[in-house]
Amino acid sequence: MARLHLFDLDGTLLHGTSAPVEISRQLGLEAEAVALDRAISSGLIGPPEYATQVHTLWAGLTEAHVTAAFEAAPWLARIREVWAELTRNGDYCAVVSLSPSFFVERLTGWGAHAAYGSRFPAVPFMEPVDPAGVLDAAAKVRIADRLCAEFGVTRADCVAYGDSMSDKDLFGAVPVSVAVNADRHLTGLATHSYTGRDLWEAYELVRAA
């Protein structure tokens, strides 16, 4: 039976950072984005407010900034190798993130079978962000169910990889999970735990089992 591997982006595939922080760095606004990351992590603001504020922060954003942020980001090692291995084995891999879809969807070029993020307007922004298109923790489970139907698997065939509170619902919904450089919100919830900068090593915890 095929399995579906579901990967978080911020703090998981991206080591110690988030897509909004990396994008904001290209605009000289890293400190502002880090403050917003702290606010959402501590529960002071929710995903819609976060999205609205980063949208405002990125008034001058261009595709060139997004490309530079993607290429310079501190990715875990061997992401493409893991996804190629999964594909060879007949498994599926998908990225589901609260970060902007225009960044997340670039990972299909690395071999992800699907990539979902919060819906933002096209860059450069000519319209506001729609709060209805902003994902939250519960949305990750809904998207996982949709992907299961698309790929012909069930929740019982899923493996989740994540690092924080936004992954808590998904970790509770699937039988196998890997906490990757995780914070306290996932303590005691994950099947496996990994600290490091190589996705293959995290994947091997599942592969060996």
**Gap between the Cα atoms of 19 and 42, Å rounded:** 18
Mean pLDDT throughout 147-151? 98
Length of the chain: 209
Q: pLDDT class for 88, splitting at 50, 70, 90? A: very high
Give SS3 for 68: helix
Q: What are the start-end ranges of the E strands in 103-190?
A: 114-118, 158-162, 176-180
Q: What is the mean pLDDT of residues 1-27?
A: 97
> What average pLDDT does range 151-172 have in this prediction?
96
| pLDDT the model gives residue 152 | 97
Instruction: Quickly state the pLDDT bin for 129 (edges 50, 70, 90).
Output: very high
Rounded distance between C-alpha atoms, residue 70 and residue 176, angstroms: 29
pLDDT of the residue at 185: 80
User: Is the distance from CB of 78 to CB of 85 less than 8 angstroms?
Assistant: no
pLDDT over 80 (residue 68):
yes
What's the mean pLDDT in 4-33? 97
For residue 42, the model assigns a pLDDT of 87
Q: What is the pLDDT of residues 34-53, one digit of tens each?
A: 999 999 988 899 999 999 99
Cβ–Cβ contacts within 10 Å for residue 163, how many? 25
